[in-house]
Structure 1
Amino acid sequence: MEGVPFTLDDFQNALEKYDFDSELGTKVKGTVFCTDANGALVDITAKSSAYLLVQEASIHKIKHVEEAGLVSGLREEFMIIGENEADDSLILSLRSIQYELAWERCRQL
């Protein structure tokens, strides 16, 4: 492997550093890159993009994700709540995080 500035061990270590945890309930940082009538596509630096359904975008009932302040380019923390078997994409939620925060505030009061 002449001319390659790193070894296979270096490559394996780099992969482990960026290993992605896609378990349900895991919080991940992501960037919204496209919205539509049903939700938003989010780049979470995984193998595939993830999708945020409009009903998971807010604790409040909204008709479009932009009502929750979600626009292209926004970086936010999301929770993984499922997986779409058809295309192996992950389903995300902001609502779950908002509920956790609301319950934490109630406990503090």
Structure 2
Amino acid sequence: MEAERRDLWLVIPATVVWGALGILGLLPAMFTPMMFDSPGSTSSIPIIVAALSILCFPLVCLVSIVAAWMAYRECDYYRIKRWIVMPLGSIVVTVAAFIWLNLAQAGLLPG
């Protein structure tokens, strides 16, 4: 019973946070095609990586929420923790891609 309560206190806040961020992440995802407006940006790896991670973030949040609840139903505490932190990987990749873009091209889109 105590383990179930502990698991539930992980899953509910993660559902709220990742659900809200996933919904908010739909707006930047809609504007990712604009990242490829300047000439030469389609061949820039940092821009492609950033665009893909921004596009995938809402989906990653949804998968994380569903998988965490499935792991909760199976009472697997360690899988719950792994699924809950999954969207952080997408955030880290996005930040790393923009840092890479800033360092490699002085923050300017190619063109």
Query: TM-score w.r.t. structure 2 length?
Result: 0.27
If asked which structure has higher relative contact order (CA below 8 Å, sep 6+), I would say 2
Query: TM-score w.r.t. structure 1 length?
Result: 0.28
